[in-house]
């Protein structure tokens, strides 16, 4: 099953995407997020998601500017 941040549960990713195409997500700030076109972004193996999240959460004090999640998903 799949969900977005504890929301409604979906049997597969296709159902999740189709739902949010018709019912846009709303960020905590109130900004409405419309799913219009696929975005070619970083791809990772589902089995390695937990490791990637841990890596992105690390602070790198030697690098200035954006890092972690901000750099990965900008």
What does the DSSP assignment read for 3-48?
-STT---BSSHHHHHHHHHHS-EE-TTS-EE---S--------GGG
Between 51 and 69, name the one with better pLDDT. 51
Residue 67 has pLDDT above 70, yes or no: no
- Domains of the chain (ranges plus CATH)? 1-36 (3.30.505.10), 38-73 (no CATH)
Banded pLDDT at 31 (limits 50, 70, 90): very high
Q: What is the mean pLDDT of residues 9-34?
A: 88
Predicted confidence (pLDDT) per residue in 43-60, tens digit: 667 777 888 788 877 766
**What is the predicted pLDDT for the residue at 13?**
82
């Amino acid at each position: 099953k799949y969900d977005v941040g504890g929301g409604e549960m979906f049997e597969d990713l296709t159902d999740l995407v189709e739902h949010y195409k018709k019912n846009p997500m709303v960020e905590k700030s109130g900004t409405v997020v419309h799913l219009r076109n696929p975005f070619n972004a970083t791809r990772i193996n589902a089995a390695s998601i937990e490791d990637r999240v841990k890596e992105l959460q690390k602070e790198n004090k030697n690098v200035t500017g954006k890092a972690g999640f901000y750099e990965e998903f900008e």
